[in-house]
Structure 1
Amino acid sequence: MSNDTSGPGETAGPPPGNQDQPPPRGIRPTDDEARLLGRRLLAEARFAALAFRDPETGHPSVSRVLVSIDEDGMPVTLLSQLAGHTRALIADQNCAVLIGEPGKGDPLAHPRMSLQCVAEKIARDDDEHERLRPFFLTRHPKAALYADFADFAFWRLRITGANLNGGFGRAYILQCTDLKIPPK
């Protein structure tokens, strides 16, 4: 059974054109509860399903990756140059990640969020590399075993939009600004 709440000819993605238009049928207007849930899912994420397009075949593919969230609220991952998903991101930086842990019972009853992203490789000699390294290794201490290998690099997954499913009947379209942590 599909969890898509769109009708014939409708899509569950962001509405084209004027963002002041009401969301498509089945998508709730974004509210503070949705923003808080989206931020919580980001903050708790330890891994994600990374979706990308295989540059050789053109087919979509998915890989599991470790993630951490940097101080800007963007997911960061550590990828080997030898991995197929890394070669795909070099060819096309557009990707998506799915975060959210299913709990007991029906996995579709638990919140999850699909993030549309642009992947940005962080060069080792960039100051960003040293800034991101402690964020990532605090979340994933075992990654210290390979984080400094020459073929590994940090990648920031810059969020451009998100589809949040808070459970049955709770679908939202979020903008990047909805996921930013407000200053204290």
Structure 2
Amino acid sequence: MTDKINPIRETDDDARTLARDLLGSARVAALGVIEPATGAPFVSRIAFGLGPDGQPMTLVSDLALHARALRADPRASLLIGEPGVKGDPLTHPRLTLRATARFLEPSAEERARLRAAWLQHHPKSGLYVDFADFHFVVFEVDSGHLNGGFAKAYALGQNDLKVT
């Protein structure tokens, strides 16, 4: 009987660097949530960025289905990493995060810091960032899965993903 080969490599500094680079350069992400009305998975493309302390974050409107879903069940999954213009899309690195969403209340002390960091990377959102129905959501990362390309899969923990 042959033992199965574990496709997950041991996490090393190269994997950590690649994951952190993906996080630091991402402007969009795919967000997976559980739709409250049906209990079915739902995926949406969102604007993405890192807060001043390196925490993953987004800005969402209460009108968005994914905002309502996160309020009902804060568990989320984020897919970060875009395929390049050439080559097989599956050979390009991508990072999946398992996280818990935390909405900031409009009066939260850290809102000003998050707003400044957000506008640095998403300046056009200055048109609506202060609308009453928009809220910053910070993702508290539980774990991640990095696919660095063919035969380069890694399981990542919270400490592996910290961007400073």
* Correspondence for 2:47: 66
- Bigger drift between 69-78 and 161-170 goes to 69-78
Moved beyond 2 Å, runs of 4+: none
Q: How many residues align?
A: 160
* Correspondence for 2:75: 94
Q: Tell me which amino acid in the other structure corresponds to 1:96.
A: S
* Correspondence for 2:23: 42
1:171 to 2:145 alignment? no
Kindly state the Cα deviation for residue 157 of structure 1 after the two structures are TM-superposed. Answer: 1.0
Across the aligned residues of Structure 1 and Structure 2, the Cα RMSD in angstroms comes to 1.2
- Taking only the aligned residue pairs, the percentage that are identical comes to 50
* Correspondence for 1:116: 98
1:149 to 2:131 alignment? yes
- After TM superposition, the score normalised by the length of structure 2 is 0.94
CA distance in 2, matches of 1:145, 1:175: 36
Kindly state the Cα deviation for residue 128 of structure 1 after the two structures are TM-superposed. Answer: 1.2
Q: Tell me which amino acid in the other structure corresponds to 1:75.
A: P
After superposition, give the CA deviation of every residue in 1:24-78 in whole Å (9 maximum; x if it has no partner). 8100000010000010000001000000000110000100000111132211100
**Aligned partner of 1:133 among 115, 136, 143:** 115
Q: Secondary structure at the match of 1:40?
A: helix
After superposition, give the CA deviation of every residue in 1:148-172 in whole Å (9 maximum; x if it has no partner). 1110000001111000000000000
* Structure 2 unmatched ranges of 5 or more: none
Structure with the larger strand share: 2
Tell me, yes or no, if the aligned pair for 2:24 and 2:163 is still in contact at 8 Å: no
* Structure 1 unmatched ranges of 5 or more: 1-6, 8-23
- Bigger drift between 43-52 and 24-33 goes to 24-33
Q: Which has the higher contact order (CA 8 A, sep 6+)?
A: 2
**Aligned partner of 2:38 among 33, 57, 67:** 57
